[in-house]
Structure 1
């Protein structure tokens, strides 16, 4: 009967850490948001696409205008989103509010379109963008920030609640 304990199906899987789940949330959120950014660009809701500020600012090769440039920029935004998720996890994870995510998205939009805009020569100045681009990208960043923020905060609160339930059962 002792042999049964060593079987693969009888072993308990270690749960993924809260930090790992937060980073996965950030990566997936970045992939989804940048994909919508590309769609918004092709449907003329926005004058800028993720490839405009990540790839086209430094590389002017022909391939950056095609599907490969879009895919690479979507992947790059996913990787950069690991950083935004890590920052949110470190600073705001205890704030269980939808509005914190909205605020975080607005802060990220200001950083991308106002503060670091001089680094990306392919992005027009904020005052040169049309109002449709401003509104649509701001909405996209708000959705992105809400997804990242609320997912991480909810996961943190849920993890704390489950740990407290386990402690209560042990007592």
Structure 2
């Protein structure tokens, strides 16, 4: 009763899966936008619109609408990537697992899924700036997803211990 008086009628915190969803969506939208900015500034020759190339017809996909839709699709794919991290690596602490996850995602996109995306040249045909920029974006994306999920998982464990004590 005393806790209710102190806490008042504040809304309950987000459930962990909902937090994973929002982390994945925000991470995809944010880092997809950073990828677009990197391509706009010529740090990379890969634009976010490569995600539309196998499925969309017309030149609109290379204009602003295609870029916007591509970044939203990257956000949706990022939600899936966040749930994969949640299912497999949530218990591991530190940023190294997120960094490794980013490198694994880079390898999946650039080596395994590469034939799906005609806008991405084979890995060894890409210029050095594109490779370095892409690796860096995937690494910081992986660290963002990994660290956010790990932090929340560890925080929930501490709260559960405090509530059970």
2:106, 2:48 → 1: CA distance?
13
1:115-130 alignment runs, 5 A limit: 115-130=112-127
What is residue 145 of structure 2 aligned with on the other side?
Answer: 148
Q: Is the 8 A contact 1:102 1:145 kept in 2?
A: yes
Gaps of 5+ in 2: 1-7
Where does residue 13 of structure 1 map in the other structure? Answer: 11
The alignment's TM-score, normalised by the length of structure 2, stands at 0.92
1: CA distance, partners of 2:163 / 2:49:
47
Q: CA deviation at 1:67?
A: 0.8
Counterparts of 1:144 and 1:35 in 2: how far apart (Å)?
Answer: 12
In 2, Cα distance between equivalents of 1:27 and 1:100: 20
Q: How does 1:151-166 map to 2 (within 5 A)?
A: 151-166=148-163
Residue number in structure 1 paired with 2:5: none
Other structure's SS at 1:121 match: coil
1:59 aligns with 2:49: no
Q: Please report how far the alpha carbon of residue 148 of structure 1 lies from its aligned counterpart in structure 2 after TM superposition.
A: 0.2
| Other-structure match for 1:41 | 39
Matches of 1:42 and 1:60 in 2, distance apart?
22
Q: Does residue 114 of structure 1 match 2:111?
A: yes
Residues of 2 paired with 1:12 and 1:41: CA distance? Answer: 43
Partner of 1:7: none
Q: Deviations over 1:14-58 (max 9, x none)?
A: 332111101110110000010000000010000101112x11233
**Cα distance in 2 between the residues matched to 1:29 and 1:164:** 29
Superposition CA RMSD, Å: 1.4
Alignment partner, residue 131 of structure 2? 134
With the length of structure 1 as denominator, give the TM-score of the two structures. Answer: 0.89
How many residues of Structure 1 are paired with residues of Structure 2 in the alignment? Answer: 159
Secondary structure at 2:82 match in 1 = helix
Larger Rg over CA atoms: 1
